[in-house]
Amino acid sequence: MTTSITPGFVLSDEELELLPTGEEVAEYERTGYYLTRKLFTDAEVDELVAASERFYAGERSRELPARPARLAYWKPEDGPVQRHHDYIHYESDDIARILRKPIVGAVAARLARAEEIRVFQSTLIYKPPIAGEPSNVVPWHFDRHYWQSCTSDDMLTAFIPFHDCGVDMGTITMVEGSHRWSEIGADDSTTRHFADRDNDDLEVMLTRNAAHNGVEVRKVPMVIPKGHMSFHHCRTYHGSGPNVSARPRRAISFHLQPGANEYRAYRLSTGDVVQYNHDVLVRRTPDGRPDYADPEFCPVLWRNAQP
């Protein structure tokens, strides 16, 4: 038996049991993160691995029509460092088919209390087991800093490992409750991606903001079983340590936006307008703005029934 929410957005009775409860949504709102039940079968996760290997070997369903200035896109000549490939949901249909499983969007909609959830971005990640490699460490940051061209403060990210993922693999780690902190020290530099900033500066920002809010920094590693995923709020500080296991950490970072999210022109103190990669790819709205609802790059994952 299935339950239809709207045409094309359907959950089985078994999948309805996988949605976060009201208590779990309240806990997400308190902590800024959530560990799901098992949303993907082992076969689906294994296909993500196989599809990613085909992608690394050069297989593409389509290629981006332009190369945004801040595109993360590892090339073999970059060597054995952590690999990031943005827009994997666009370039690989096999990966997109699994990522767009309705239960993923339905969980996100429940957490964000949104009527609609769209893709915002997706990044395929391969973190090799090189404990001393600096690129294997992701410093403390939160995603909202890099999404200043967005109107929504309720965006969220799913971290989807392709295997059991624990501390030894450098799993994603959250700073509990940090999405509720008031912020000090934000300036033009915070719009720059963490890869363009000094790690020590980001550690100082975390510590300073915790002190400003009168709280201790509580770091919570997400131990994620195969087929499960974590979600975190766009203002939750997070990072990851080195992969000290014997095998690569494979995952996708799946950034999601509520249906109400739109582009806004966010100006720096210099007068320059912040740009996101989408801005050179997506179609334009009738008033000329980048359309963050472009179905080619930002497809709908879930839409609740309308009253």
DSSP H helical ranges for the chain = 13-16, 22-31, 42-56, 88-91, 93-99, 102-112, 199-212
Q: What is the mean pLDDT of residues 90-114?
A: 98
CATH of residue 106: 2.60.120.620
- pLDDT of 4 over the 50 cut: no
* Average predicted confidence (pLDDT) for the chain: 90
Q: What is the mean pLDDT of residues 216-243?
A: 96
Task: State which residues form the domain around 293.
Answer: 2-303
CA-CA distances (angstroms) from residue 291 to 11, 120, 284, 298? 28, 11, 5, 9
Is residue 25 a contact partner of residue 111, using CB atoms and an 8 Å limit?
yes
The total number of residues shown for the chain amounts to 307
What pLDDT does residue 251 have?
Answer: 98
Comparing 9 with 219, the larger pLDDT belongs to: 219
pLDDT digits (tens, 9 = 90+) for 32-61: 999 999 999 999 999 999 999 999 999 999
pLDDT digits (tens, 9 = 90+) for 173-191: 999 999 999 876 665 444 5
What pLDDT does residue 131 have?
Answer: 63
What pLDDT does residue 307 have?
Answer: 39
Is residue 219 a contact partner of residue 225, using CB atoms and an 8 Å limit?
no
Sign of the four-CA dihedral 99, 149, 205, 203: positive
pLDDT band at 138 (very low <50, low <70, confident <90, very high): confident
pLDDT digits (tens, 9 = 90+) for 191-213: 555 555 555 667 788 888 888 89
pLDDT digits (tens, 9 = 90+) for 238-248: 999 899 999 99
Q: Which residues are paired to 84 by β-bridges?
A: 125
What pLDDT does residue 1 have?
Answer: 33
pLDDT band at 139 (very low <50, low <70, confident <90, very high): confident
C-alpha 229, offset from chain centre: 11
Triad 138, 143, 147: Cα angle to 5°: 135
Q: What is the mean pLDDT of residues 151-180?
A: 97
pLDDT band at 15 (very low <50, low <70, confident <90, very high): very high
pLDDT digits (tens, 9 = 90+) for 120-135: 999 999 999 976 666 6
Count up the domains in the chain and report the number.
1
User: Phi and psi dihedrals of 193, rounded to 5?
Assistant: -60, 150
What pLDDT does residue 133 have?
Answer: 65
pTM of the model: 0.92
pLDDT digits (tens, 9 = 90+) for 254-276: 999 999 999 999 988 788 899 99
Distance, in Å, from the CA atom of 4 to the CA atom of 118, rounded to the nearest integer, reads 18
